[in-house]
Structure 1
Amino acid sequence: MPLWCDPLGLALGVALDRLIGDPRTAHPVALFGGGAARLESVLYADARPNGVAHVALCVGGAAALGVLASRPRNPVARTALTAAATWAVLGGTTLAREGAFMADALERGDVAAARARLPHLCGRDPSALGPQELARATVESLAENTSDAVVAPLFWGAVAGVPGLLAYRAVNTLDAMVGHRSPRYERFGWAAARLDDVANYVPARLTAAFTVLAGPDRRGALAMWRRDGHRHPSPNAGRCEASFAGALGVTLGGTNVYGGRTEHRPTMGVGPKPDVGDIRRAVRLTRLVGLAAAGAALAATVATGLATTRATTAAANAALRLARGRRCRRAIV
């Protein structure tokens, strides 16, 4: 298989996401979610083993589909499938558009529209939120989802190709569906939540690093990442939010309400709470971090391909030398 197939497919998938974003109907992730929900109705019980089985079947099925999609030996087909898978799992453009919608609504004073739209970004209750709290929720969601929707898929695509892309999106989708804290999913969703933590451990820290590189205040981003990144309840989201807070010069965190459940989270950053103008700055930062992640993923994919080609060539040469040595010994005998 030519070296250029996977990097070109990844680049085309990133370009498709940047140009057109998510499909409005029949999104592959939504189709997966429907299948996962039907399987949940069969397997559900208030027990961890049932949740483990649910995750294993859903993620294993997605990974197996990725393996099958990677089998074509035709370079054009391989490139096209890689591009389609990359486009299907990325959500950077849609994330930026949601942030821009929130900024537009709050800039024109339409708090009702912003409250109605916030559930597209996060799960907190928007009914009592004013403009500043809506702005904070938006910036925090942009920070966290930059990792979930952009950096993490690209990382796993670079590490494991199409199977990595599809498996990661399955893990992240299951976490959103059943991994949250509630009486129904306290045990059943345990496996989905823990696997999502593992899958996002490296990408979240890469997101923070790219934020330091691409942000308007590099020193601030690095300082807040190091000082406050561990203070968030999530082992991963705090790294993203703290680095965004430092890069933008704002303070994130505080009291959040989720379906009647109130959480008091430590603050991160130094500066005022975000206002409406900070949403657009966060959107720009999200786009820049996404570009940095795409560049790093492409470089890693090329490097992996070169290393694999060299290893294959070296193994073939060693086998050839061994075969020649055997023929020489036979000729002497």
Structure 2
Amino acid sequence: MVTSRHARAAATGLLLDALLGDPPNQVHPVAWFGTAMTAWERAAYRDSRAAGVLHAAVGTALGAAAGRACRSTAAASAVAVAGRGLRGAAGSIAARLADDDLDGARALLPTLVGRDASTLDAHEITRAVVESVAENTVDAVVAPALWAAAAGAPGGLAHRAVNTMDAMVGHRSARYDRYGWAAARLDDAAAWVPARVTALLVGAVRPSAAAAVARAVRDQAPAHPSPNAGVAEAAFAAALGVGLGGENRYGDRVERRPDLGTGPPPGHADIGRACRLSRDVTIALGLVLVTAGRNR
């Protein structure tokens, strides 16, 4: 249940992230968390779901405990939200593409996505960036802010822990098929509502495309293997008037993603449009949280 105090604090966290961005990795609590969970995995890894459930439980508890120790929902939200960093990383890749620096764009792409960038051309890199901006608007902006609004600092940092564990061990591979199962399913559950709130906000900030967004989310998103990334990517594709989806390579594995949207493939200028859409969704979410805080 969203409380007025937590809602206002979560909105403050969104503002702080927009103004200050992320601290350097050396002093970033999320980086510290990643180091701690890497050490846990090194000590406790077993090729089993049971070991993965324990991994997910320990990491979530660690995130919630950090939130209780922090005591400030605004500060915890600022740590958990990474919208400015997301837009900055995407913008840096767009700048390389605009300069025809394909090697530079490939080198930067792993900061946003897990797919193999070594053979991607400019069009594939552009699509990967737009899809990542869409998905991470949920994971790095809307979801942590909503969890902070609902459960204070422990909620915001617990969600950030869950999402970080999903990025670390939740992908399909021989090592993580069983061990990462719990982290991946927990992340799916934690982002289910935020993904759909994101789609609503996309339609709200791009009203001329609202009907197309609703159709894409209803008709196209269910074909995506992720219950949440598909919703965000379909909403962004419809709002931007571009087509997303296609083949993604992850090491030796190739996945075919469904076509999302009905427009042409995105060009590098569409990365900037996606970033502005993500920014506008963030602003709209902040206004919703402030309004919720005043009305309770």
- Using structure 1 for the length normalisation, give the TM-score: 0.84
Query: Does the 8 A contact of 1:158 with 1:298 survive in 2?
Result: no
Cα distance between partner residues in 2 of 1:54 and 1:217: 42
Partner of 2:168: 177
Q: 1:298 aligns with which of 286, 290, 293?
A: 290
- Give the counterpart letter for 1:254 in structure 2: G
Matched residue SS, 2:171: coil
Partner of 1:250: 242
For residues 225-282 of structure 1, give each alpha carbon's deviation from its aligned partner in whole angstroms, at most 9, with x where no partner exists: 1211111110111000001110011110001101121111111110111111111111
Query: Does the 8 A contact of 2:170 with 2:176 survive in 1?
Result: yes
Matched, 1:187 2:178: yes
Matched, 1:134 2:164: no
Query: Does the 8 A contact of 1:67 with 1:162 survive in 2?
Result: yes
Cα distance between partner residues in 2 of 1:20 and 1:153: 17
Cα distance between partner residues in 1 of 2:4 and 2:265: 46
Partner of 2:27: 26
Q: What's the CA shift for 1:7?
A: 4.6
Partner of 1:278: 270
Partner of 1:66: 67
Partner of 1:89: 80
Q: 1:148 aligns with which of 139, 151, 159?
A: 139
Give the number of the structure with larger relative contact order, counting CA–CA contacts within 8 Å between residues 6 or more apart: 2
Cα distance between partner residues in 1 of 2:36 and 2:58: 11
Please list, as runs of the form range in 1=range in 2, the aligned pairs for 1:27-42 lying within 5 A after superposition.
Answer: 27-42=28-43
Matched residue count:
292
Runs of 4+ in structure 1 deviating by more than 6 angstroms, as ranges, are none
Cα distance between partner residues in 1 of 2:139 and 2:7: 21
Among the aligned pairs, what percent are the same residue? Answer: 48
Cα distance between partner residues in 1 of 2:182 and 2:169: 9
Cα distance between partner residues in 2 of 1:200 and 1:45: 27
Matched residue SS, 1:265: strand
- Give the counterpart letter for 1:244 in structure 2: F
Partner of 1:11: 11
Partner of 1:310: none
Partner of 1:324: none
Matched residue SS, 1:253: strand
Q: What's the CA shift for 1:4?
A: 7.3
Partner of 1:231: 223
Partner of 1:203: 194
Partner of 1:322: none
Cα distance between partner residues in 1 of 2:31 and 2:106: 23
Give RMSD over aligned pairs. 1.6
Matched, 1:50 2:56: no
Cα distance between partner residues in 1 of 2:99 and 2:198: 31
Cα distance between partner residues in 1 of 2:180 and 2:4: 40
For residues 62-113 of structure 1, give each alpha carbon's deviation from its aligned partner in whole angstroms, at most 9, with x where no partner exists: 213323443xxxxxxxxxx222211111100000111111111111111111
Matched residue SS, 2:255: strand
Partner of 1:314: none
Matched residue SS, 2:258: coil
Partner of 1:317: none
Q: What's the CA shift for 1:5?
A: 5.2
Cα distance between partner residues in 2 of 1:48 and 1:302: 44
Cα distance between partner residues in 2 of 1:8 and 1:242: 30
Of 171-180 and 3-12, the range deviating more from structure 2: 3-12
Q: What's the CA shift for 1:42?
A: 1.6
Ranges in structure 1 where 5+ consecutive residues have no aligned partner = 71-80, 307-333
- Give the counterpart letter for 2:261 in structure 1: G
Q: What's the CA shift for 1:14?
A: 1.8
Matched residue SS, 2:27: coil
- Give the counterpart letter for 1:273 in structure 2: P
Cα distance between partner residues in 2 of 1:301 and 1:160: 14
